[in-house]
Amino acid sequence: MFLKLTNVDNTMFTGIITDIGTVRSLVKTGDTRIEISTAFDVASIDIGASICCSGACMTVIERAEDWFGVEASAETLSKTVLGSWTQGTRVNLERALRAGDEMGGHVVSGHVDGTATLTDLEKEGDSLRLSFKTSNDLKGFIAPKGSITLDGVSLTVNEVDNDTFGVNLIAHTQKETTFGNISTGDIVNVEIDMLARYVARLLEIERS
* Closest C-alpha to 186, from 130, 147, 135, 111: 130
- Report the half-sphere exposure of 74 (CA within 13 A, side-chain side): 2
AA letter at 192: I
Task: Give the tens place of pLDDT for each residue, 100-138.
Answer: 566 666 789 999 999 999 999 999 999 999 999 999 989
Q: Which residues pair with 76 in a beta bridge?
A: none
* Closest C-alpha to 156, from 188, 124, 129, 133: 129
Task: Give the tens place of pLDDT for each residue, 9-52.
Answer: 568 899 999 999 999 999 988 899 999 999 999 999 999 999 99
Q: How far is CA 162 from the centre of its chain?
A: 22
Task: Give the tens place of pLDDT for each residue, 53-92.
Answer: 999 999 999 999 999 999 999 999 999 999 999 999 999 9
Q: Report all structural domains of the chain as residue ranges with CATH numbers, in order of start.
A: 19-95 (2.40.30.20), 114-207 (2.40.30.20)
